[in-house]
Structure 1
Amino acid sequence: MCISAGDAAFSGTVLYCGRQRHPEDGGLIHVLGYQNTAENLAGGPNAMLLHLPTRHLTPEQFISVGSDDDVLRRMVDAVAPPEVETDGMDWMDAGPEPVVRVFEHDVYTVLLADDPGLIPAALHRVPWKRRPRLKPELLTFYAERFPDHAIALCCFDNADAKRAKPLLVWYQPHDPDRLTVPALDSHTGGAPDLDADVPVDHWVLFSSDEAPSDGWGAPVAHPERMRHRLRSFLPDRVVGRYYGDGQTLRNGDFGIRHHDLLAGDLDRVERRRP
């Protein structure tokens, strides 16, 4: 269900990717939503790693859900069958120098790295109770398989894992016409086995502000009291599908081309490997 720095068990994962214009400057962006239930088996601090198809992330791109910690739950409710139980802005050529930013977000201490090789030297900035031990092979995997991807290392301790709110972050994607959500699986702290078939327990959700207004997707019931900034990054309608109930899939991320999404053809969702 995700990549962890140490032994862990994950379930009830909800993944969301939406394509839209930034509410302030109008640039084309993707919005990623991520939530799961984690059981930390590492006997100490742990972390989950997320790779995003963008060169650069800043803490300001993480969107606080505040008291609206059911934003992804509402998207699932919109598309779930009743019988299912459910837990373009251009880059400058040179770009910023690779750095690691460390900040607090909900129950996580997050390290944002433009280069995963910079993470070990920044771990001392994580509070000791959340500071995981990282295997070199895991960071080597990301450096080799996901060049030009931003890496988010979300550090947590045993008590925090069960009460985490959804992560919501916007970014400028490498390919605006391919929507991807991170779903590589390895819960031992080592690099994932790309040839393995792994169990899945995922709701995978997508949206686009270019979707047809008539009959596309399912409406999401956002509360009227929701803060304006948060609402501006959330969709009116979504499509989605549940992968689970004992199902296994080849290890990889989920993705769909934008034109297939606009057609509402979820059979074109791909399991993608780096």
Structure 2
Amino acid sequence: MCISAAPAAFTGTTLYCGRVRHERHGLVHVLGYQNTAENRADGPNAMILHLPARELTPGHFLRTAGDDGILRRMVDAVRPRRAAAGGMDWMDFEAPRSVQVFEHDVYTVLLAADPTDVPAALHRVPARRRPALDPGLLAFYAEHFPAHTFAICCFDNAEARTAKPLLLWYEPLDPDVLTVPALDSHTGGSPDLAAHVPTDHWVLFSTDEAPEGWGAPVAHPPATRHALRAFLPTSVVGRSYAEPLPNGDFSVTHAALLADETLERVRRVAPGRP
């Protein structure tokens, strides 16, 4: 699952999107993403995430000190329900640039509103992590996701399997639609929007507007700092996917999320698909 800049295999993917009214930033969405990557390229590689965000800066990426289990705890909270039916290093904002480049865990991350701007910034990525990007793939993103923001997470062969969960927040284009990026192509080229693709995912959602008793409670370590805890859910709903599905992202409206904890109303969405 996901788009890679060169041949790769991604397994055991966990995707999370939460809706939070943050005390400082207002109504935001929080994205969590983790998988096991096997780089099958001869050199560096990257995974590309398209996000329905108005803006992304390094300050939107949450650093979790000594806590690799944030998404695992969410899956553990949901898993028994399906069978039966730490701290944060704050990063200050930077002034927006055409492409922002920074280090995050094992990744060198490029953030861009226009993916076709990325090649001109690749020289700022360390050579051991600098991938070759297919211009056709970047043009695909520019054409099909014109209002999105893009995170290109570059990694080298040795570090591919040791990444911590990605956790970031953003002001969404539509606060009432929660979406996690799940378009699939591991060849380095553009995804086939007409294809059915294999899945190996846990997909999780949350909202801080849920009534009491909604979802499965998530227990965060007592040492989790308030600054990070403010972005984390107290309860989640989720399910696993292990069957071929139409290529696309997972999306659900906020109203449907509140009305149906089984996630039967989650849709696979892709450009051009009604």
Q: TM-score, normalised by structure 1?
A: 0.92
Structure 1 residue 82 displacement after superposition: 7.7
The 1:83–1:250 alpha-carbon spacing in structure 2 relative to 1, beyond 3 Å, is closer
Residue type matched to 2:231 in 1?
F
Show the counterpart of 1:272. 269
In the alignment, structure 1 segments of 5+ residues that lack a partner are 85-95
Distance 1:98 1:262 in 2: 37
Show the counterpart of 1:253. 249
Show the counterpart of 2:6. 6
Deviating more after overlay: 264-273 vs 144-153: 264-273
Show the counterpart of 2:91. none
The 1:83–1:217 alpha-carbon spacing in structure 2 relative to 1, beyond 3 Å, is closer
Structure 1 residue 43 displacement after superposition: 1.3
Show the counterpart of 1:17. 17
Distance 1:73 1:24 in 2: 27
Distance 2:168 2:8 in 1: 24
Distance 2:18 2:229 in 1: 13
Aligned CA RMSD, in angstroms, stands at 1.4
Would you say the 8 A contact 2:54–2:170 is kept in 1?
Answer: no
Show the counterpart of 1:68. 67
Residue type matched to 2:156 in 1?
D
SS of structure 2 residue aligned to 1:81: helix
Residue type matched to 1:52 in 2?
L
Show the counterpart of 2:92. none
The 1:145–1:28 alpha-carbon spacing in structure 2 relative to 1, beyond 3 Å, is same
Distance 1:253 1:30 in 2: 16
Residue type matched to 2:41 in 1?
A
Show the counterpart of 1:88. none
Structure 1 residue 23 displacement after superposition: 3.0
Structure 1 residue 97 displacement after superposition: 7.0
Q: Which aligned pairs between 1:118-267 and structure 2 lie closer than 5 A? A: 118-213=117-212, 215-244=213-242, 247-265=243-261, 266-267=263-264
In the alignment, structure 2 segments of 5+ residues that lack a partner are 84-94
The 1:82–1:43 alpha-carbon spacing in structure 2 relative to 1, beyond 3 Å, is farther
Aligned residues: 259
Spell out structure 1 runs of 4+ moving beyond 6 A: none
Work out the percentage of aligned pairs sharing the same amino acid.
68
SS of structure 2 residue aligned to 1:268: coil
Would you say the 8 A contact 1:239–1:264 is kept in 2?
Answer: no
Distance 1:33 1:136 in 2: 27
Structure 1 residue 161 displacement after superposition: 1.1
Would you say the 8 A contact 1:3–1:186 is kept in 2?
Answer: yes
Deviating more after overlay: 48-57 vs 127-136: 48-57
Residue type matched to 1:229 in 2?
A
